Amino acid sequence: MKIYTGTGDRGKTSLFSGERVSKADRRVEAYGAVDELNSVLGALAAALEPDQPGLVSEVRRIQADLFRVGARLAFAGDETDGPALPELQEEHAAWLERAMDRMQEDLPPLKGFILPGGHASAAWAHIARTVCRRAERHVVSLRDGQAPGTASEAFRMLIVYLNRLSDYLFLLARKCNRLHGQDDIPWGG
């Protein structure tokens, strides 16, 4: 099966809701950042395997959730009268919160700023966190610009989820270091 269609060779792409837009469109920028985040999470999962199957499973679940984020971002209409999009629900953010609560129980209190880094898996988690924040900024910018479809409850949930996810990734980075016997790297400034 060949993957290419050539429909984007002139710098345009089709949104899921059918509109032809520039590949520099800010909506494309937003779901592109989510795609990038998902790829970084793939690298993180690879760095965790095979020692941490539980964490890998969590990361895989988040990767699946991010497809929901991408789907909503690629839909510029107000509503679809076709099959319902797979949406993020409150439960998706709540699941992240529970995962963060579990991680925090095992981590020492934070006494200051820390440098991103440490074990390779922790470094990937920090990269994922920063890409997540960038995706969040793009999504908020779409909403602030009143782009079509961004006033919905489903869109609001994207912002909640990405905000929660970047917090989760911060804690995950610390947990990765701890699991691999490395302390947080304090900022010496």
Partner 1 sequence: MDRTTFPGEVDSALARAAESPAYRSRILRRRWLCAGTLEIELDRPSGFTFVPGQRIRLFRGEDWREYSPVSAPGDQSLTLCVRVIPGGRFTPWLASCPEGSEIAFSEPCGYFVYRRSARPACFVATGTGIAPFVSMARSGLSGFTLLHGARLPEEVYYREVFEARSARYVPCLSSAAAAPEPPLGSFPGRVTEYAEKVLSGGPFDFYLCGNRDMVRDMTRIVDERFEGSRVFVEVFF
Which positions lie near partner 1, rule CB under 8 A? 1-2, 4-7, 9-10, 12, 14, 16-20, 31, 61, 64-65, 67-68, 70-71, 74, 77, 80-83, 85-86
Q: What is the dihedral of CA 77, 136, 90, 39, to 10 degrees?
A: 90
Specify the residue, 63 or 182, whose C-beta has the smaller distance to partner 1: 63
| Residues 26/138, Cβ–Cβ less than 8 Å | yes
Specify the residue, 70 or 149, whose C-beta has the smaller distance to partner 1: 70
**Smallest gap from residue 58 Cβ to partner 1 (A):** 13
**Smallest gap from residue 72 Cβ to partner 1 (A):** 8
Specify the residue, 74 or 135, whose C-beta has the smaller distance to partner 1: 74
| Residues 135/33, Cβ–Cβ less than 8 Å | yes
- How far is residue 134's CA from residue 101's CA, in Å, rounded to a whole number? 24
Of 80, 79, 69, the closest CA to residue 30 belongs to 69
Of 27, 119, 129, 135, the closest CA to residue 73 belongs to 27
**Smallest gap from residue 51 Cβ to partner 1 (A):** 24
**Smallest gap from residue 132 Cβ to partner 1 (A):** 17
- How far is residue 98's CA from residue 96's CA, in Å, rounded to a whole number? 5
By DSSP bridging, strand 185-186 and strand 114-115 are antiparallel
Specify the residue, 65 or 184, whose C-beta has the smaller distance to partner 1: 65
Cβ-in-10-Å burial (0-12, 13-18, 19+) of 187 comes to exposed
**Smallest gap from residue 101 Cβ to partner 1 (A):** 23
**Smallest gap from residue 134 Cβ to partner 1 (A):** 18
Specify the residue, 12 or 26, whose C-beta has the smaller distance to partner 1: 12
Specify the residue, 74 or 123, whose C-beta has the smaller distance to partner 1: 74
Q: Which residues make Cβ contacts (< 8 Å) with residue 90, sequence separation at least 6?
A: 157
